[in-house]
Structure 1
Amino acid sequence: MASEATSSRRLNIDNINPHVRAAKYAVRGELAVKSEEYRARLAQGATDLPFDTVISANIGNPQQLDQKPITFFRQVLSILENPGLLEKKDVLIEHLGYKTDVIERAEWLLKEVGSVGAYSASNGVPAIRKSVAEFLERRDGFPANWQDIYLSAGASSAVNTLLHIICADKNTGVLVPIPQYPLYTASLSVLDAQCVPYYLNESTNWGTDLNVLKEACEKAKAEGVDVRAVVIINPGNPTGASLPESDIRAVIEFARQERLVIIADEVYQTNVFIGEFISFKKMLRQMQKEQPGVYDNIELASLHSVSKGMVGECGHRGGYFELVGFDPAVQQEIYKFVSIMLCAPVIGQCLVELMVNPPKPGEPSYDLYRAEYDAIFNGLRERANALHAAFEQMEGVECGVPQGSMYLFPRIKLPAKACEAAAAEGRTPDEFYCMRMLEATGVCVVPGSGFGQEPGTLHFRTTFLAPGTEWVGRIVKFHQEFMDKYRD
């Protein structure tokens, strides 16, 4: 029964959209809210907490954690936002460190865009979409059609668009990897469609097991679910795994057999420490070349974003998705859907252009760009390895070698007494562990249950974006004290 206070209002918790109420998004859940309360208390001068800083290791938000913007990108954007600066080119160059290629790129973008304060075409500025197509051709060695490229407000907006098109009713199913980034399960929940989970193989560093994928699909179909698509996150979030060619080939063949749309979430494609990133588009084109006609009907949507990688410009909300093999009539409906949202932020679209077309060797801005890019990449890799080394020495913790993305997803084995204490609080053991960690250290991570995990296993996800390693020491100390307190 709604309380009197809520019943006097038209909306209350019982009558709003139940699918929104049912959606879960742990990355910004209870732990994140509490960490911000601690941050505010510290800012107000609190001295009664056992830590003096809050580390937001719960979300891949690089610039919140002191990753510096790429100078070339921000200099171009500054001119786009304030074109009057072009009246003082001599000041920009002689006093503010702008290079001539910064000014040339800004002038070109202004010519193509007009004003970043104006709407663009619904699917994005044509010249920027052409620049993305040229990048894809360089990356994959196969042609790309700029008219199949849609600029979006980050990859999240692209996922929202694609799932709205794919999900016809509550019977529509989408295969989603577990553990997964909760955007997918939350979006399917809001759409009242079916998430069909398939477990990644932790013993092979979170590889995609074709037999597990097939079993999940067959089980859903047997229950009457209309399975239409399979989501692949590569490199993985939250796992950090980077798929080998054999896994990618197997997924494409599986999609052919089951007539599934492939949604390839590739936003971490530059965050690869071991091996190399292979795009689904490249592998599909290679397989089509090897066996003409066999894979011609594969429908593939691949996503990329300015939010991750060495760019880290989450707040600018820029991204794109490319469609391969889609029915033209369906693409018309996708265009209509993105038109309802008007267009992606135009400054974010311009940032996409800079990401896919950065300074080249020999150009004035190249040396600084390369130095900044490499410093960010090497810093991420060093912190990933330092965090992994810490987990290796922690009792009851197992963690695969960092392969890519911005995350580690260690498995933790907690004493029975800790699990009992968690139950007494109405929490899962991993939630309990992560809450105690936050309260003791100020480090905010996300319990594995927020991403999904095999029954009987416990994990947490942490980024390795925060500078320094002092906070890693806090985790090690906390873990030892936690284990001692609850030891059987």
Structure 2
Amino acid sequence: MLRLNMGDAQSVGQPPINFLRQVMTLVAYPELIHKGIFPEDANIRAENILKNCAGGSVGSYSEVCGIKIIRRQIAKFIEEIDGVESQWENCYIGQGAGDMMKIFLAVIKFNENGLKAGVLTPVPGCTSYSMIIEGLDLQKIDYYLDEDNEWSININELQRAVDDAKTVCNPRAIVLINPGNPTGHILTVENMEAIVNFAFKENLIIIADEVYRTNILKANCNFIPFRRILKEMDKPYSKMELVTLMSMSDGIYAENGSRCGFCEIINLDPEIPPMIYRLLSISPPACNIAQAALYCLVNPPKPDEPSYEEYHNEIFRITDGFKASASLVEKTIKNLEGIKCNPLEGGIFFYPRLSLPENAVEKAKQLGLLPDEFYVSQLLQDTGICVVPGYELGQKQGTYHMRMTLISDPERERIIMQRFKTFHMEFMKKYTGFVKT
């Protein structure tokens, strides 16, 4: 079975980045440092981390908000890649982006005038965020991405969602996933500026999930972080409340098993950081070895260091592999009846729309299944390819989708897509009839 239903790249063959694993090994077994086994830049990073661990051991408890040297490096990393000033005290390390999202939303959870707080979330979107919002007894406010316009965010749709929600909750925040999961889109600067204007008008905290920012699939697509948009728009927008999420688990680094990520908070009420600290203090901190991997993400080998060439060759190989796989997927789907997909710009997923024959829709009803649920169950049964039906991630009524994970090995992707193409053609032939468009 090919588990292409989740973003677990190493489970489908993507190799780990050697430099990360070297530093992780060294902090776990310091006796190997300076023994001529690993490059000197890996040795130095391991020493720096251990000096900042209690007792010089990663087996000790981490500081509540994360190892201080790594938090400082996160701020420096943000300044270098985004050109925006960052304060290390505003950077927090936790067990992945979802963990940081949960902690932050728990802080803003309070009733006002008898109404609970509401959080705008994209549809389609990330199921874990929906579960976090519902688990905290917050009000989930759905806003639909515009599939007909390459999954852009329509401001009129945001206004509709907020206006409808105000009768049952107090809208407090808006979640933006950029690059998109599951949609694979990247927001344009114009769209982002319009979103910022809207959030300012409605007094919403922006929560920017940017975990796939390193996975850019097209040369003409540029990822721009929301922190830079706020800065360039200047006051009063530069003073808006913003939470940015980043993770080790996703994309190029794909250290899902390490469970580590960080958030940066900007311009939040002074009462919020102490509340975040208290919530972090009662939760298990991110594993110190995982934090060592995060340190490598924000402090990669420099051009004058011995690991630089190998590290960047690995990054380029994975990145180019994703780009080639995305191109292959687009070409395959373009030539198939009954399925279409917006351009794949970023991230590691694609979310095509299925136009299923009426006979297939009727067959699904007979089996007590939704049409896209029936389609993906047949795909799994006939090919061993496991994907997510669109109803689990959200879709407009009357439309059907599926989410499949891209892999960084284009040759293997070619085999997968050939298998998928054969299945889809046979499925459409079996249920031939009027095809909904």
Q: What band does the TM-score fall into relative to the shorter chain?
A: over 0.9
Larger Rg: 1
User: In the alignment, does 2:276 pair up with 1:329?
Assistant: no
* 1:42-441 alignment runs, 5 A limit: 54-86=1-33, 89-90=35-36, 92=37, 98-113=38-53, 114-169=56-111, 171-221=116-166, 223-274=167-218, 275-288=221-234, 292=235, 294-295=236-237, 297-441=239-383
Which residue matches 2:415?
470
Number of equivalences: 423
User: Identity percentage over the alignment?
Assistant: 39
2:293 is paired with a residue whose SS is: helix
Which residue matches 2:394?
452
Which residue matches 1:47?
none
Q: Could you tell me which amino acid in structure 1 is paired with residue 188 of structure 2?
A: P
Q: Give the Cα separation in 2 of the matches to 1:391 and 1:425.
A: 27
Contact 1:265 1:304 (8 Å CA) reproduced: yes
Q: Give the Cα separation in 2 of the matches to 1:167 and 1:414.
A: 42
Q: Give the Cα separation in 2 of the matches to 1:81 and 1:397.
A: 49
Q: Give the Cα separation in 2 of the matches to 1:440 and 1:168.
A: 49
Flag structure 2 segments of 5+ consecutive residues without an equivalent.
Answer: none
1:238 is paired with a residue whose SS is: coil
Contact 2:230 2:238 (8 Å CA) reproduced: no
How far is the alpha carbon of 1:268 from its aligned partner? 0.3
1:176 is paired with a residue whose SS is: strand
Q: Could you tell me which amino acid in structure 1 is paired with residue 11 of structure 2?
A: Q
How far is the alpha carbon of 1:168 from its aligned partner? 2.1
Contact 2:185 2:343 (8 Å CA) reproduced: no
User: TM-score, normalising length from structure 1?
Assistant: 0.85
How far is the alpha carbon of 1:421 from its aligned partner? 1.1
How far is the alpha carbon of 1:155 from its aligned partner? 0.6
1:328 is paired with a residue whose SS is: coil
Q: Give the Cα separation in 2 of the matches to 1:296 and 1:72.
A: 36
Q: Could you tell me which amino acid in structure 2 is paired with residue 60 of structure 1?
A: G
**1:164-191 Cα shifts (integer Å, max 9, x gaps):** 1222257221100100011121112212
Contact 1:229 1:262 (8 Å CA) reproduced: yes
Contact 1:65 1:466 (8 Å CA) reproduced: no
Contact 2:178 2:208 (8 Å CA) reproduced: yes
How far is the alpha carbon of 1:99 from its aligned partner? 1.4
2:372 is paired with a residue whose SS is: helix
Q: Give the Cα separation in 1 of the matches to 2:116 and 2:229.
A: 31
Q: Give the Cα separation in 2 of the matches to 1:431 and 1:153.
A: 31
Contact 1:158 1:321 (8 Å CA) reproduced: yes
User: TM-score, normalising length from structure 2?
Assistant: 0.94
How far is the alpha carbon of 1:327 from its aligned partner? 1.1
How far is the alpha carbon of 1:297 from its aligned partner? 4.4
Flag structure 1 segments of 5+ consecutive residues without an equivalent.
Answer: 1-53, 93-97
Q: Could you tell me which amino acid in structure 2 is paired with residue 66 of structure 1?
A: G
**1:94-148 Cα shifts (integer Å, max 9, x gaps):** xxxx211111111111112222111111111111000000000011212100000
| Root-mean-square deviation (Å) | 1.3
1:175 is paired with a residue whose SS is: strand
Q: Give the Cα separation in 2 of the matches to 1:368 and 1:254.
A: 44
Q: Could you tell me which amino acid in structure 1 is paired with residue 22 of structure 2?
A: Q
Deviant stretches of 4+, over 6 Å: none
How far is the alpha carbon of 1:296 from its aligned partner? 5.2
